[in-house]
């Protein structure tokens, strides 16, 4: 019975030690990657001043719908390809999604494709993952890297046509979740501010990032567009809806729990419990062998005495 117990302790202890080592050394590189089944819609709301029929700015409540869909057929272990869209509409008549181009509630709609490193979130320009006519893009787009730092990161701005600096400006509690706040300020002249009309573009965007997962918890945007010879055609203030922020917080907490379990709890428990269990098992085996040897010697002595 003692031998069986010893073998069980050795086997279980060895398993826990291996599990702890694997969780510490191998698991982070496997789980800290953007999922290939990513397919989500982010909801934003705010206000915008847009020209009315008399070309006078008119303030209106707006909603925006941002989609991110991974293309698993093109993606692999290291790189993920995305199809994205962003639709900005007047918040009228209970609208809950993008509308057709001839709908007067539509303000703007755009689509994009890009590829990114699954670990760092940085854009990757490789024809293996993108169509031939894809725009050369750079910087972060739909997430920050795992283990985000308190430093400046490049983020893609399609209007500028390049990456702009998102500077770390502090931390902020969002529904009990600590986030790092980054701010990106961008501007560009002689760009298409509306269809085939050039002008000036300026924007300021604040990103609220859960640092361990790199998830964007909230995004606050102020953007202005001024058309040459016409004047201001857009003055926009936009942010994630309260429901969207709460969803992001809940998802981040779930992901943090999973990361903590695999990267911290399993290694600690595996090593802290497995090593003593293994040693106890070996000790019982050694003691069992010594006792068996002693019993054998005594038996031999008894037989010799007879």
Q: pLDDT tens-digit profile of 118-136?
A: 999 999 999 999 998 999 9
Q: Which of 67-76, 193-202, 279-288 has the lowest mean pLDDT?
A: 279-288
The verdict on 86 and 179 lying in the same domain is: yes
Tens digit of each residue's pLDDT (9 = 90 or more) over 234-248: 999 999 999 999 999
| 122 located within any domain | yes
The domain total for the chain is 2
| Percent of the chain residues past pLDDT 90, beyond the cut | 57
CA separation for the pair 232, 55 (Å, rounded): 10
Residue 102 has pLDDT above 80, yes or no: yes
The verdict on 248 and 279 lying in the same domain is: no
For residue 241, the model assigns a pLDDT of 97
CA separation for the pair 184, 208 (Å, rounded): 12
Class of residue 69 by CB neighbours under 10 A (exposed 0-12, middle 13-18, buried 19+): middle
For residue 7, the model assigns a pLDDT of 52
DSSP sequence for 147-214: T--SS-EEEEETTTTEEEEEEEEEEEEETTEEEEEEEEEEEEEEEEEETTEEEEEEEEEEEEEETTTT
CA separation for the pair 23, 271 (Å, rounded): 11
Mean pLDDT of the region 97-108: 89
| 287 located within any domain | yes
Q: Residue 187 belongs to what domain range?
A: 35-261
| 29 located within any domain | no
The verdict on 164 and 288 lying in the same domain is: no
Partnered with residue 41 across adjacent β-strands are 67
**Which H or E element spans position 62?**
strand 57-70
Partnered with residue 209 across adjacent β-strands are 180, 216
For residue 52, the model assigns a pLDDT of 76
The verdict on 141 and 286 lying in the same domain is: no
Partnered with residue 198 across adjacent β-strands are 192
The verdict on 183 and 60 lying in the same domain is: yes
The verdict on 17 and 119 lying in the same domain is: no
As a three-state string, the secondary structure of 49-103 is EEECCCCCEEEEEEEEEEEEEECCCCCCCCEEEEEEEEEEEECCCCCCCCCCCCC
Lookup result for tokens 């490193």: 117
The helix/strand/coil state of 51 is: strand
Mean pLDDT of the region 103-119: 92
């Amino acid at each position: 019975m003692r031998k069986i117990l010893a073998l069980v302790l050795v086997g279980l202890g060895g398993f826990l030690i291996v599990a702890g080592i694997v969780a510490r050394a191998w698991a982070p590189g496997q789980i800290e990657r953007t999922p290939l089944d990513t397919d989500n819609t982010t909801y934003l709301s705010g206000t915008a001043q847009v020209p009315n029929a008399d070309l006078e700015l008119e303030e209106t409540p707006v909603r925006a719908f941002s989609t991110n869909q991974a293309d698993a057929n093109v993606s692999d272990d290291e790189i993920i390809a995305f199809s994205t869209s962003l639709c900005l509409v007047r918040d009228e008549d209970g609208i809950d999604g993008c509308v057709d181009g001839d709908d007067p509630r539509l303000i703007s709609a755009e689509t994009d494709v890009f590829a990114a490193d699954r670990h760092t979130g940085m854009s990757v320009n490789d024809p293996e993952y993108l169509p031939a006519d894809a725009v050369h893009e750079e910087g972060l787009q739909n997430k920050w890297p795992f283990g985000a730092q308190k430093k400046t990161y490049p983020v893609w701005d399609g209007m500028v046509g390049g990456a702009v600096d998102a500077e770390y400006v502090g931390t902020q509690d969002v529904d009990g979740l600590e986030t790092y706040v980054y701010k990106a300020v961008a501007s560009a002249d002689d760009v298409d501010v509306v269809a085939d009309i050039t002008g000036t573009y300026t924007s300021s965007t604040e990103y609220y990032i859960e640092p361990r997962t790199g998830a964007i918890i909230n995004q606050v945007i102020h953007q202005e567009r001024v058309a040459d010879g016409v004047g201001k055609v857009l003055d926009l203030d936009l942010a994630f809806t309260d429901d969207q922020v709460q969803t992001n917080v809940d998802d981040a907490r779930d992901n943090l729990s999973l990361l903590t379990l695999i990267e911290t709890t399993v290694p600690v428990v595996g090593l802290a419990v497995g090593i003593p269990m293994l040693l106890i098992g070996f000790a019982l085996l050694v003691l069992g062998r010594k006792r068996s040897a002693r019993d054998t010697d005594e038996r031999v002595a008894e037989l010799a005495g007879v």
